[in-house]
Structures are given as structure tokens and as C-alpha cells.
Amino acid sequence: MASSGKSELVVLANRLPVRKVDTGPSGDQWATSPGGLVSALAPILRERGGSWVGWPGDTGEAPKPFTHDGIRNVPVGLTSGELEAFYYGFCNRTIWPLFHDAVRPPEFHRRWWWPYVEMNSRFASAAAKRLSEDGTAWVHDYQLMLAPQMIRMKKPGARIGFFLHIPWPPEELFAQIPWRRQIVEGLLAADVVGFQTKLAAINFARAARRLTEATGSDSELRYRGRKVLVRAFPISIDTERYEQLAESETVLERVLSLREMLGPERRVILGVDRLDYTKGIDVRLRSFEELLSRGTVSASNTVFVQVAVPSREQVDEYTHERESIERVVGRINGAFTEPGRVPVHYLYRSLPVEELVAYYLLADVLMVTPYRDGMNLVAKEYVASRRDGSGVLVLSEFAGAANELRGSLLVNPHDIDGMAQALEAALHLPKAEVGKRMSALRRVVRRHSVFNWADAFLKAVAA
């Protein structure tokens, strides 16, 4: 912390890195939220006396700034109306579908846009108040695309970095949004605009040249006399943590008991996703159904475990998606269950991380088949957990992770036959081939952790 009480580094993200676990007579009790981003940024923030600006997770008046585990948390409040319009509306019914190739039609409403502007301004003001004159602000994700410009206005001498966790859509799609120019201008005030993939970076640079007076190349734009670096910084995971979990006693014991319960003779296919219509859960299950109906696999020799973590249940498209997935699960289990052997185990809940890793270890095949995904960390976590070099990853060519994880079996998630074929191939891949592919995958994930990612991003912002 600088002597002025200001921070050299301020992170802005939709959520704080903590969640409230209790409110007692001694005040609110907080616990650090699990997740790669928090583990990567926490040590950097602690070292630099940094602050994290974010929403604490419930509506109403925001608590005063507080320090938890060595990090200064600066809560930004949202009323329930703002949550509805800003978060469930503009963020999750306009931007989210539009930026994921419009797999659901995005909705454009002026009544959602203004709360988006207002919330960005609230986050930016809270950050600017904390930030030293030449400090660094690191803004995260699609909820805060106007914040870089708003911070720049208050702190012209600051270094500002923005990282988008989701894809940036092709030019023709992005051009649909009525507020396209404001969004691009919001981002161009940053010194570095980072994306998961090169394609996303190129899409952004094209939009910037088309919609604003920005000039320059796909990797470096000039805008109002400043240089803006536009680059891919593929995010990763805390690789060591998954490697350690994968050899912990709790996890290994759980693997044994789950194997016993699922049927030791059965091959296990796994899917793990937030229940989101971008993740392609339905078509993935239908490709398994295809193999069951052809008799290639049966409930007695194969089981599909699908973990679907509840997400954005207030948005209609998510309830529809859930209903549609549950119909497919019911249909498959109705048609193919054999006494004591259910083909699809569907878990609509979040699991403790030890349980999750136990499933990673049980799975002969992991299917990650989103229609579009910024990166997909589940794929990388699976690879990190497979220390013995076994396991096959079936991966959508439309996930950012496909650029790096070349040892996977790549599929088009819209193609049921192609996916059924890939799944069958995955189940029958010769052992040597499995080992070769997994060791190629493990080299990538071990070489590049979320710590390297954060380091590379902050170095680029400081340059």
C-alpha cells in the first residue's frame, strides 16, 4: 500500500474474491471463494497491498471496505432492480448470448443499457478512489467493458489492463449491438486489451477499426494518440493444486468408493459444466444415446456421469435448457436402463472440489463440447489430474482450449454423428495412443499455469 493509503494495483471483477458465510454479532464473516483467478491474483495483491473491487453477492447496501486474508475488499452495492437489469439483463441476455455466436438470440433493451453504464461507473469510481496516480487497474470481463474509459478519465496516468474471459464475436455479429461504439471506446482506453484466443483479439481489432477512429494492426492499435496492445493471453489453472488433489488420500479413497458404486467393470464418460446453453450438454448426451441405440455401448458396460452446476436460474433460457437436458436424460434412462445399471448419472448440483477431482480420475473419457467457450478450464483440470497419463479428452473445436490442447480428439459440437464417432473412437483408442495424447496434453498444462498467465498479463500492462 502506498503511503497515501492508495493501491498500486486494483483489480475490478464482477464478484469479490470472497463470499459471505455468516452474519453474526461480530459482523459479517467472509470466506475466500475457490477458483483459479482468485488463487492467481491473491498473492500478487497481498504482495503489492492491492485492492479488489467487486459485488459481494447480495443486494442492498454494500458493506464498508474490509481486509480479508491480506486483501483489501471494496464492495460495490447493487439494488435488486439493478441486479435484474444490469446482471440478468444486459450482461446475461444481451452480451453473453451475442458473444457466444448468438446461440440464443441476444435481446437489446435500452432499459438494460443504462443500468450497465451506471454500474460500470460505480465500479470505476470505487476503483479510481483506491488507485494511486500511476497505479495499475486490471479490469475483468464482459460486465465491465466501459470501466477502462471511466477509470482513464479519473486517472489519466494509470496503467489499465482489460481481460475478457469469454469470446469476442465476429465483426458481423458484434455490429448488431446498438451500443457497439461505446463498448469498443470503453475498452480502447486500456493500455492492454487481452483475450483468450488470437481469433478473439483479431475480431476486436477489426471492430475497433470499423467503429472508431482507431488505426493500426490486429495486435497494436493507435487510438487518440495512445498505443493499445491487443493480444491473446490464454488463461490456465493452478496446475499443481489439481496434481496434488489427484494424489490426496481423500480423493483416492473417494475414487475407490465411487468406482464400486458405479460398477467397477464399467467405462466412465464424464461431462462437467455450469448448466449453460453454450456448453452443448444436450447434443453430447444425444451422441451417447446414439451409441446406446446402435448397441455399440450398453448400460452394463458404460456409464455417463454429467455434472451440471446450477447457474443463472433467474433467466428463462437457462430453465428451458435445464428442462431440455432433463428430458434427454429421462429419455435415455427410460430406454436403456438395465436392472441396477442406469446409463446416465445426472447430478444437478455443485460438488466439493475433492469429489470433482475423484470424478476426473474415474473418467476414461471427458467430453467438453461447448458450442462456443472462451477457454474452458474443466478440460485443463482433467488433464492436470491425470498424473498416470491415461484418459481421453474429447474437445469442441469451438472452445478456446482447442488452440492449445491439440492432443485431444477435436469435434464439431453441432454434429451428433461426428461426436458419436469420436466418443466411440475415444472408448477404443489403443493404450499407447491414449498415453501419447495425454502426455502431449500434460506438457501444455504443466508448462502454463494461471500464475504464468497473470504474470504475463501484468508484465504487458507494465511495459
Residues of this chain that interact with ligand GDG (CB under 6 A) are 165-166, 235, 272, 274, 307, 309, 350-351, 353, 356, 373-378, 381
Least distance CB 192 / ligand GDG (angstroms): 16
In the bound state with ligand GDG, the residue whose beta carbon lies nearer, of 50 and 374, is 374
In the bound state with ligand GDG, the residue whose beta carbon lies nearer, of 89 and 271, is 271
Least distance CB 372 / ligand GDG (angstroms): 9
Q: How many C-beta atoms lie closer than 10 Å to residue 25's C-beta?
A: 4
With a CB cutoff of 8 Å and minimum separation 6, the contacts of 458 are: 44, 136, 138, 161
In the chain, count H helices and then E strands.
17, 18
Of the candidates 224, 221, 307, the one whose C-alpha atom is nearest the C-alpha of residue 258 is: 307
Least distance CB 353 / ligand GDG (angstroms): 4
In the bound state with ligand GDG, the residue whose beta carbon lies nearer, of 135 and 194, is 194
Q: 351 with 274: CB under 8 angstroms? A: no
In the bound state with ligand GDG, the residue whose beta carbon lies nearer, of 231 and 274, is 274
In the bound state with ligand GDG, the residue whose beta carbon lies nearer, of 192 and 356, is 356
CA distances from 163 to 132, 280, 451, 461 (A): 21, 25, 15, 11
Least distance CB 375 / ligand GDG (angstroms): 3
Least distance CB 453 / ligand GDG (angstroms): 9
Of the candidates 187, 138, 158, the one whose C-alpha atom is nearest the C-alpha of residue 40 is: 138
In the bound state with ligand GDG, the residue whose beta carbon lies nearer, of 83 and 351, is 351
In the bound state with ligand GDG, the residue whose beta carbon lies nearer, of 242 and 336, is 242
Least distance CB 309 / ligand GDG (angstroms): 4
Residue 367: φ, ψ to 5°: -105, 115
The DSSP call for residue 165 is: S
Residue 317: φ, ψ to 5°: -60, -30
| End-to-end Cα, the chain, rounded Å | 21
What cell does 12 get? 475490478
Least distance CB 334 / ligand GDG (angstroms): 26
